Amino acid sequence: MKNIVLLGAPGAGKGTQAALIREEFHIPHISTGDILRRNIKEGTPLGVTAKKYIDAGELVPDDVVIGLVELRLKEDDCKDGYILDGFPRTIPQAESLDKVARIDVALNIDVPFDVIMERMSGRRVCACGETYHVSTLGDATTCQKCGKELFIRDDDRPETVENRLRVYEKQTAPLIDYYRKQGKLKDVNAVGEIDKIFEDVKKALI
């Protein structure tokens, strides 16, 4: 299988599609956001550092995330492909990645601004990693997989969301051109039903 990078604005649906790719192709889903949030929950030194950036909607410093991804990619389960979700997020991160890995494809999960706002404001998450949206949850307040209570991510507050989108435009959107120039970029129009989008994702990965 391939080594895949998922690009896309906050709330575009990267995590949602990455979970489907993982199930279909049996390759690990490496989300730097999930790793950082786990460290915050466990109160590790990395988590303490990361929290102040994440809560402000800013990026965690490059050297911190580059180090943790490089370590993760050395693990055994990454031998036959992986999905990077939320990394790289800056040009220096992409350049560092190119020194230690061979990326085959960068999927750009492309969604207009108004849809992004809708997706992030309705997101509900579980500590187990599952993600839901209020539009499909009905009256449910617990995780369909593990039964735990769902909650709203701290950085989904409206003030933080605005800054995350600004940071995305300035620091992360240039990666679209970075991978286009390498001939690795595939755009996926990610408006519509999750399963339908996944069909296009699969086509882009063949």
Would you count residue 122 as binding ligand AP5 (CB under 6 A)? yes
Distance (Å, rounded) from C-alpha 139 to C-alpha 58?
33
In terms of CB distance, is 15 or 88 closer to Mg ion?
Answer: 15
Which of 3, 4, 7, 15 is the binder for ligand AP5 (CB under 6 A)? Answer: 15
Judged by CB under 6 A, does residue 11 bind ligand AP5? yes
Binding to ligand AP5 by residue 53, rule CB under 6 A? yes
Applying CB under 6 A, among 5, 30, 59, 83 the residue interacting with ligand AP5 is 59
For Mg ion, which residue of 8, 11, 13, 15 counts as binding (CB under 5 A)?
15
167-186 residues in contact with ligand AP5 (CB under 6 A) are: none
- Which of these ranges, 5-13, 39-47, 71-79, 144-152, lies near ligand AP5 under the rule CB under 6 A? 5-13
Residues 6+ apart with CB under 8 A from 40: 47, 48, 50, 51, 54
Alpha helical stretches, state H, the chain: 14-25, 32-42, 45-56, 62-73, 91-100, 113-121, 134-137, 158-167, 174-181, 194-205
d(CA 11, CA 117) in angstroms, rounded, equals 8
Q: Are 53 and 35 in contact (CB under 8 A)?
A: no
**The one segment of 32-40, 75-83, 94-102, 174-182 that binds ligand AP5 by CB under 6 A:** 32-40
- In the complex, the smallest distance separating the C-beta of residue 53 from ligand AP5, rounded to whole angstroms, is 5
How far apart, in whole angstroms, are the C-alpha atoms of residue 59 and residue 41?
18
Q: Give Cα 103 distance to the centre of its chain.
A: 16
Closest residue to Mg ion: CB criterion:
15
Told to check if 16 binds ligand AP5 by CB under 6 A, we report yes
Short-list 1, 2, 204, CA closest to 109? 204
Residues serving a catalytic function are 14, 89, 123, 153, 164
CB within 8 A of 64, min separation 6: which ones?
A: 46, 49, 50
Q: If you search the block for the tokens 């390498």, which residue do you land on?
A: 182
Residues that bind Mg ion (CB under 5 A): 15
Binding positions for ligand AP5, rule: CB under 6 A: 8, 10-16, 32-33, 36, 53-54, 57-60, 65, 86-87, 89, 93, 119-120, 122-123, 131-133, 155, 164, 194, 197
